Amino acid sequence: MRRRAFITFLAGAAAWPLALRAESFPARPIRIIVPFAPGGPADIVVRAAQGGMEQRLGQSFIIENVSGAAGQINNAILRLDLSNRSKRQEAGVMAAISLTVNGQTYSTDVDPDTPLLFVLQDDLKLNGPKFGCGIAQCGACTVLLDGKPIRSCVTAMSRVDGHDVTTIEGLGTVDNPHPIQTAFIEEQAMHCGFCISGPMLYGKAFIDQQPHATEADIAKALNGLLCRCYAHTRMIQALVRYAKESA
């Protein structure tokens, strides 16, 4: 609770100097992300401040709760202190969790709030899923959970206990790539490749469900995935190719 209050204080301290420069605000609503569920102390503080800010600035704000992002912040703090894991284990915070990753069973003792992404990267050394935003906004951390795409940066380990996770490493190999990987290579759909877990896994899950999807359907399915190289057009072409070849 003290950590929550501290984070809330930091968020407030960062926001109010901005509020003093009202003329720099755009006309459209500004989105404020509260990294906790609705109704908690942080949510209440931000919503209480919303009215005053709107009145003072003549600027509307949209408050969005991204529950789980706080776990990300907490775990970023935990990463700074490697001894914390054993301290939390002594305090009984850890839990035994077992899952299947790319066909291999994996069991671990871990803080159940730890994001799946951290375990994939740090413990299993899988670097296909990437840490982009950490708050479910970009899709770079996408993996398949029981065949459905999820954002592993905000998925707690407790959520994946007993489930099946597939990362892009689990799709195919260099010598024997999955057809969707071949399609991305054929269309030269990757630039830096940082974001590729998102379009490849969202695209695969979507087309496997809807093999006759049109280009427009595919473009819509990728909505919400960010690529800083602006390679979206080629990614859509790669998915159109994959749809045609797997129909």
**Chain residues that interact with ligand FES, rule: CB under 6 A:** 131-134, 136-141, 151, 153, 190-195, 227-229, 231
| Nearest distance from C-beta of residue 56 to ligand FES, angstroms | 32
Nearer to ligand FES, 57 or 126 (CB): 126
| Nearest distance from C-beta of residue 155 to ligand FES, angstroms | 9
| Nearest distance from C-beta of residue 106 to ligand FES, angstroms | 20
| Nearest distance from C-beta of residue 173 to ligand FES, angstroms | 21
CA distance linking residue 127 with residue 141, whole number of Å: 10
| Nearest distance from C-beta of residue 41 to ligand FES, angstroms | 25
CA-to-CA separations, 136 to 12, 23, 97, 99, 152, in angstroms, rounded: 22, 30, 23, 22, 8
Nearer to ligand FES, 141 or 180 (CB): 141
Nearer to ligand FES, 53 or 234 (CB): 234
SS3 assignment for the chain: CHHHHHHHHHHHHHHHHHHCCHHHCCCCCEEEEECCCCCCHHHHHHHHHHHHHHHHHCCCEEEEECCCHHHHHHHHHHHHCCCHHHHHHHCCCCEEEEEEECCEEEEEEECCCCEHHHHHHHHCCCCCCCCCCCCCCCCCCEEEECCEEEEHHHCEHHHHCCCEEECHHHCCCCCCCCHHHHHHHHCCCCCCCCCCHHHHHHHHHHHHHCCCCCHHHHHHHCCCCCCCCCCHHHHHHHHHHHHHHHC
Nearer to ligand FES, 102 or 121 (CB): 121
| Nearest distance from C-beta of residue 35 to ligand FES, angstroms | 13
Nearer to ligand FES, 57 or 237 (CB): 237
Nearer to ligand FES, 97 or 231 (CB): 231
